[in-house]
Chains A and B, each alone.
Chain A
Amino acid sequence: MNKNNIMVLLGGILFGFGLAYSGMTKQEIVLSFLQMKDLGLIFVLGGAAAVTFIAINVIAKYLKAPLLGGDFKPRHRPISRNLIIGAVIFGIGWGLSGQCPGSAIASLGTGNLPVILGIAAMFVGAYLWGFLDS
Protein backbone atom coordinates (compact mmCIF):
# COMPACT_ATOMS: atom_id res chain seq x y z
CA MET A 1 0.00 0.00 0.00
CA ASN A 2 1.40 3.44 -0.90
CA LYS A 3 1.85 6.16 1.71
CA ASN A 4 -1.27 8.04 0.63
CA ASN A 5 -3.44 4.97 1.14
CA ILE A 6 -1.98 4.33 4.58
CA MET A 7 -3.06 7.84 5.63
CA VAL A 8 -6.47 7.33 3.98
CA LEU A 9 -6.87 4.07 5.92
CA LEU A 10 -5.87 5.75 9.18
CA GLY A 11 -8.25 8.66 8.53
CA GLY A 12 -10.99 6.20 7.58
CA ILE A 13 -10.52 4.24 10.80
CA LEU A 14 -10.89 7.45 12.83
CA PHE A 15 -13.92 8.43 10.73
CA GLY A 16 -15.58 5.05 11.34
CA PHE A 17 -14.66 5.04 15.02
CA GLY A 18 -16.14 8.54 15.42
CA LEU A 19 -19.34 7.55 13.63
CA ALA A 20 -19.75 4.56 15.95
CA TYR A 21 -18.76 6.54 19.07
CA SER A 22 -21.38 9.18 18.30
CA GLY A 23 -24.10 6.59 17.64
CA MET A 24 -24.47 7.59 13.98
CA THR A 25 -24.12 3.92 12.98
CA LYS A 26 -27.51 3.36 14.66
CA GLN A 27 -30.32 4.32 12.29
CA GLU A 28 -32.64 4.77 15.29
CA ILE A 29 -30.44 7.56 16.71
CA VAL A 30 -30.26 9.34 13.34
CA LEU A 31 -34.05 9.07 13.02
CA SER A 32 -34.53 10.43 16.54
CA PHE A 33 -32.59 13.51 15.40
CA LEU A 34 -34.69 13.87 12.26
CA GLN A 35 -37.84 13.51 14.39
CA MET A 36 -36.40 16.30 16.60
CA LYS A 37 -36.29 14.15 19.74
CA ASP A 38 -32.50 14.21 20.20
CA LEU A 39 -30.59 17.01 18.51
CA GLY A 40 -27.15 15.49 19.16
CA LEU A 41 -26.42 14.89 15.46
CA ILE A 42 -25.87 18.63 15.03
CA PHE A 43 -22.86 18.34 17.34
CA VAL A 44 -21.44 15.44 15.34
CA LEU A 45 -21.70 17.34 12.07
CA GLY A 46 -20.70 20.64 13.68
CA GLY A 47 -17.73 19.13 15.55
CA ALA A 48 -16.44 17.33 12.46
CA ALA A 49 -16.92 20.39 10.22
CA ALA A 50 -15.26 22.71 12.78
CA VAL A 51 -12.13 20.55 13.08
CA THR A 52 -11.95 20.15 9.29
CA PHE A 53 -12.50 23.91 8.89
CA ILE A 54 -9.35 24.56 10.93
CA ALA A 55 -7.40 21.99 8.90
CA ILE A 56 -8.47 23.46 5.55
CA ASN A 57 -8.39 27.17 6.39
CA VAL A 58 -5.62 27.44 8.97
CA ILE A 59 -3.23 24.45 9.06
CA ALA A 60 -3.21 23.91 5.28
CA LYS A 61 -2.37 27.60 4.72
CA TYR A 62 0.59 27.20 7.05
CA LEU A 63 1.79 23.92 5.45
CA LYS A 64 1.33 25.31 1.90
CA ALA A 65 1.25 21.76 0.38
CA PRO A 66 0.10 18.33 1.60
CA LEU A 67 2.83 16.54 3.55
CA LEU A 68 3.00 13.65 1.06
CA GLY A 69 2.93 15.92 -1.99
CA GLY A 70 0.22 17.30 -4.27
CA ASP A 71 -1.91 20.40 -3.89
CA PHE A 72 -4.48 21.69 -1.44
CA LYS A 73 -7.83 22.36 -3.12
CA PRO A 74 -10.79 23.29 -0.92
CA ARG A 75 -13.93 21.38 -1.91
CA HIS A 76 -16.17 23.49 -4.16
CA ARG A 77 -19.00 22.50 -6.46
CA PRO A 78 -20.91 24.80 -8.81
CA ILE A 79 -24.54 25.15 -7.81
CA SER A 80 -27.03 23.62 -10.23
CA ARG A 81 -30.65 22.56 -10.44
CA ASN A 82 -29.59 18.89 -10.42
CA LEU A 83 -27.52 19.40 -7.28
CA ILE A 84 -30.54 20.75 -5.39
CA ILE A 85 -32.93 18.11 -6.81
CA GLY A 86 -30.39 15.49 -5.71
CA ALA A 87 -30.32 16.97 -2.21
CA VAL A 88 -34.13 16.70 -2.05
CA ILE A 89 -34.05 13.03 -3.13
CA PHE A 90 -31.23 12.28 -0.70
CA GLY A 91 -33.22 13.98 2.08
CA ILE A 92 -36.26 11.77 1.45
CA GLY A 93 -34.08 8.65 1.56
CA TRP A 94 -32.24 9.79 4.68
CA GLY A 95 -35.52 10.65 6.46
CA LEU A 96 -37.09 7.34 5.46
CA SER A 97 -34.20 5.08 6.47
CA GLY A 98 -31.87 6.96 8.84
CA GLN A 99 -28.98 5.92 6.58
CA CYS A 100 -26.47 8.14 4.83
CA PRO A 101 -23.51 6.73 2.87
CA GLY A 102 -20.79 7.02 5.54
CA SER A 103 -22.90 5.97 8.50
CA ALA A 104 -24.28 2.97 6.59
CA ILE A 105 -20.83 1.76 5.54
CA ALA A 106 -19.45 2.15 9.07
CA SER A 107 -22.52 0.42 10.46
CA LEU A 108 -21.31 -2.84 8.88
CA GLY A 109 -18.48 -2.79 11.43
CA THR A 110 -21.00 -2.90 14.27
CA GLY A 111 -22.48 -6.14 12.92
CA ASN A 112 -25.59 -4.37 11.63
CA LEU A 113 -26.21 -6.83 8.80
CA PRO A 114 -29.59 -5.55 7.48
CA VAL A 115 -27.77 -2.41 6.34
CA ILE A 116 -26.02 -4.53 3.68
CA LEU A 117 -29.33 -4.33 1.80
CA GLY A 118 -29.41 -0.55 2.27
CA ILE A 119 -25.88 -0.22 0.88
CA ALA A 120 -26.69 -2.53 -2.03
CA ALA A 121 -29.65 -0.26 -2.77
CA MET A 122 -27.33 2.79 -2.65
CA PHE A 123 -25.18 1.16 -5.33
CA VAL A 124 -28.31 0.56 -7.44
CA GLY A 125 -29.35 4.21 -6.96
CA ALA A 126 -25.86 5.47 -7.88
CA TYR A 127 -25.93 3.17 -10.91
CA LEU A 128 -29.33 4.50 -12.01
CA TRP A 129 -28.05 8.07 -11.99
CA GLY A 130 -24.90 6.98 -13.86
CA PHE A 131 -27.09 5.15 -16.40
CA LEU A 132 -29.21 8.26 -17.02
CA ASP A 133 -26.10 10.47 -17.16
CA SER A 134 -24.21 8.34 -19.74
Chain B
Amino acid sequence: MFPLGIEPYLIGGIIIGIGVSIVYLTTGLHATQSSFFTTTLSWFSKRIHFQKEKNIKERNWRLVLASGLILGALIHTLTLSPTGFWTTSVQLWRLVLGGLLVGFGTRLSRGCTSGHGISGLASRSKTSLYAVLVFMGVAIVTANIVQLLGILP
Protein backbone atom coordinates (compact mmCIF):
# COMPACT_ATOMS: atom_id res chain seq x y z
CA MET B 1 0.00 0.00 0.00
CA PHE B 2 2.81 2.43 0.90
CA PRO B 3 6.10 1.24 -0.65
CA LEU B 4 7.71 4.67 -0.13
CA GLY B 5 6.27 5.21 3.36
CA ILE B 6 3.69 7.77 4.39
CA GLU B 7 5.94 10.62 5.62
CA PRO B 8 6.95 12.28 2.32
CA TYR B 9 3.32 12.34 1.27
CA LEU B 10 1.93 13.68 4.52
CA ILE B 11 4.71 16.26 5.03
CA GLY B 12 4.43 17.43 1.41
CA GLY B 13 0.65 17.73 1.79
CA ILE B 14 1.01 19.78 4.96
CA ILE B 15 3.50 22.13 3.25
CA ILE B 16 1.01 22.58 0.37
CA GLY B 17 -1.74 23.29 2.90
CA ILE B 18 0.40 25.90 4.67
CA GLY B 19 1.03 27.61 1.32
CA VAL B 20 -2.69 27.69 0.46
CA SER B 21 -3.53 28.86 4.00
CA ILE B 22 -0.99 31.71 3.98
CA VAL B 23 -2.48 33.04 0.75
CA TYR B 24 -6.06 32.74 2.07
CA LEU B 25 -5.43 34.25 5.49
CA THR B 26 -3.49 37.24 4.18
CA THR B 27 -5.40 37.99 0.95
CA GLY B 28 -8.67 36.02 1.02
CA LEU B 29 -7.72 34.45 -2.34
CA HIS B 30 -8.02 30.72 -2.98
CA ALA B 31 -4.67 29.52 -4.34
CA THR B 32 -6.14 27.08 -6.85
CA GLN B 33 -4.60 26.08 -10.14
CA SER B 34 -6.77 25.34 -13.17
CA SER B 35 -8.20 28.88 -13.47
CA PHE B 36 -4.66 29.91 -14.42
CA PHE B 37 -5.22 28.61 -17.96
CA THR B 38 -8.40 30.65 -18.45
CA THR B 39 -7.06 33.87 -16.91
CA THR B 40 -3.79 33.64 -18.87
CA LEU B 41 -5.71 33.11 -22.12
CA SER B 42 -7.46 36.44 -21.47
CA TRP B 43 -4.23 38.12 -22.67
CA PHE B 44 -4.48 36.34 -26.02
CA SER B 45 -8.16 35.75 -26.84
CA LYS B 46 -10.90 38.34 -27.28
CA ARG B 47 -13.65 35.76 -26.73
CA ILE B 48 -16.25 36.68 -24.10
CA HIS B 49 -15.45 33.62 -22.00
CA PHE B 50 -11.89 34.84 -21.43
CA GLN B 51 -12.64 38.56 -21.27
CA LYS B 52 -14.89 38.27 -18.20
CA GLU B 53 -14.00 40.90 -15.61
CA LYS B 54 -13.08 38.19 -13.09
CA ASN B 55 -10.45 36.71 -15.44
CA ILE B 56 -8.84 40.09 -16.16
CA LYS B 57 -8.80 40.89 -12.44
CA GLU B 58 -7.21 37.56 -11.45
CA ARG B 59 -4.73 37.03 -14.27
CA ASN B 60 -1.77 38.79 -12.64
CA TRP B 61 -1.82 37.01 -9.30
CA ARG B 62 -2.57 33.66 -10.94
CA LEU B 63 0.55 34.06 -13.08
CA VAL B 64 2.51 34.92 -9.91
CA LEU B 65 1.09 31.78 -8.24
CA ALA B 66 2.13 29.55 -11.15
CA SER B 67 5.63 31.10 -11.11
CA GLY B 68 5.80 30.36 -7.38
CA LEU B 69 4.94 26.71 -8.02
CA ILE B 70 7.80 26.35 -10.50
CA LEU B 71 10.19 28.19 -8.19
CA GLY B 72 9.21 26.09 -5.16
CA ALA B 73 9.72 22.83 -7.05
CA LEU B 74 13.06 24.16 -8.35
CA ILE B 75 14.19 24.98 -4.79
CA HIS B 76 13.29 21.44 -3.71
CA THR B 77 15.14 19.99 -6.70
CA LEU B 78 18.29 21.96 -5.81
CA THR B 79 18.17 21.22 -2.06
CA LEU B 80 16.35 18.24 -0.52
CA SER B 81 15.56 16.21 -3.62
CA PRO B 82 17.11 12.71 -3.57
CA THR B 83 16.94 12.48 -7.37
CA GLY B 84 17.71 16.06 -8.47
CA PHE B 85 16.55 17.10 -11.92
CA TRP B 86 14.25 14.48 -13.31
CA THR B 87 12.37 13.66 -16.51
CA THR B 88 9.27 11.50 -16.88
CA SER B 89 9.26 8.36 -19.02
CA VAL B 90 5.51 8.54 -19.63
CA GLN B 91 4.97 8.59 -23.39
CA LEU B 92 4.47 11.99 -25.01
CA TRP B 93 1.12 11.13 -26.61
CA ARG B 94 -0.21 10.34 -23.13
CA LEU B 95 1.00 13.69 -21.77
CA VAL B 96 -0.50 15.58 -24.72
CA LEU B 97 -3.85 13.78 -25.02
CA GLY B 98 -4.16 13.65 -21.22
CA GLY B 99 -3.27 17.35 -20.97
CA LEU B 100 -5.93 18.25 -23.52
CA LEU B 101 -8.60 16.42 -21.51
CA VAL B 102 -7.31 17.88 -18.23
CA GLY B 103 -7.45 21.44 -19.62
CA PHE B 104 -10.95 21.01 -21.06
CA GLY B 105 -12.35 18.99 -18.15
CA THR B 106 -11.04 21.15 -15.30
CA ARG B 107 -12.42 24.32 -16.87
CA LEU B 108 -15.79 22.70 -17.58
CA SER B 109 -15.78 21.37 -14.02
CA ARG B 110 -14.59 24.75 -12.63
CA GLY B 111 -11.87 23.17 -10.51
CA CYS B 112 -9.15 20.55 -10.35
CA THR B 113 -7.29 18.56 -7.71
CA SER B 114 -6.45 21.80 -5.91
CA GLY B 115 -9.66 23.80 -6.54
CA HIS B 116 -12.11 21.03 -5.68
CA GLY B 117 -9.70 18.73 -3.85
CA ILE B 118 -7.98 21.15 -1.46
CA SER B 119 -9.82 24.49 -1.31
CA GLY B 120 -13.28 23.08 -2.11
CA LEU B 121 -13.17 20.25 0.41
CA ALA B 122 -11.65 22.59 3.03
CA SER B 123 -14.58 24.95 2.38
CA ARG B 124 -16.95 22.03 3.10
CA SER B 125 -18.38 22.30 -0.42
CA LYS B 126 -20.60 19.34 -1.30
CA THR B 127 -20.18 20.12 -4.99
CA SER B 128 -16.42 19.75 -4.63
CA LEU B 129 -16.83 16.46 -2.76
CA TYR B 130 -18.89 15.05 -5.66
CA ALA B 131 -16.38 16.43 -8.19
CA VAL B 132 -13.44 14.82 -6.34
CA LEU B 133 -15.19 11.45 -6.06
CA VAL B 134 -16.02 11.54 -9.78
CA PHE B 135 -12.63 12.61 -11.14
CA MET B 136 -10.69 10.35 -8.81
CA GLY B 137 -12.93 7.36 -9.54
CA VAL B 138 -12.73 7.92 -13.30
CA ALA B 139 -8.95 8.44 -13.13
CA ILE B 140 -8.47 5.16 -11.22
CA VAL B 141 -10.55 3.26 -13.78
CA THR B 142 -8.72 4.95 -16.68
CA ALA B 143 -5.23 4.31 -15.29
CA ASN B 144 -6.08 0.64 -14.73
CA ILE B 145 -7.51 0.22 -18.23
CA VAL B 146 -4.37 1.82 -19.71
CA GLN B 147 -2.26 -0.59 -17.65
CA LEU B 148 -4.37 -3.61 -18.68
CA LEU B 149 -3.89 -2.62 -22.33
CA GLY B 150 -0.16 -3.01 -21.69
CA ILE B 151 0.65 0.64 -22.40
CA LEU B 152 3.93 1.27 -20.60
CA PRO B 153 5.23 3.61 -19.47
Contacts and interface: CB of A to CB of B under 8 A. Distances in A.
Nearest to A67: B26
Residue of B23, B38, B134 ringed by the most chain A CB atoms within 10 A: B23
Interface in A39-55: 39-55
B64 A1 contact: yes
Interface string B22-51: 111111111111101110110001011110
Contacts, number: 529
A95 B105 CA distance: 13
Contacts of B40: 123
Given A22-B8, A47-B17, A56 B24 contact: yes
Nearest to B153: A28
Contacts of B113: 45, 94, 100-103
A129 B104 contact: yes
B21 to A, nearest CB: 3
Given A5-B61, A28-B153, A34-B142, A52 B21 contact: yes
A4 B29 contact: yes
Contact of A7 (B22, B112, B140): B22
A114 B92 contact: yes
A128 B99 contact: no
Provide the main secondary structure of the chain A interface. helix
Interface residues of A, number: 119
B7 to A, nearest CB: 9
A77 B9 contact: no
A66 B135 CA distance: 31
Contacts of A82: 108-109
Given A12-B72, A75-B120, A86-B109, 15 more contacts: A12-B31, A12-B66, A14-B22, A15-B68, A17-B72, A19-B72, A21-B80, A40-B8, A42-B9, A45-B13, A96-B98, A98-B98, A109-B73, A114-B92, A125-B100
27 contacts: A4-B29, A11-B20, A15-B15, A16-B70, A17-B15, A17-B73, A23-B9, A36-B144, A40-B5, A44-B9, A55-B122, A79-B127, A87-B135, A90-B138, A91-B134, A101-B113, A106-B72, A114-B95, A115-B88, A117-B95, A118-B95, A119-B99, A121-B98, A125-B99, A125-B102, A129-B104, A133-B49
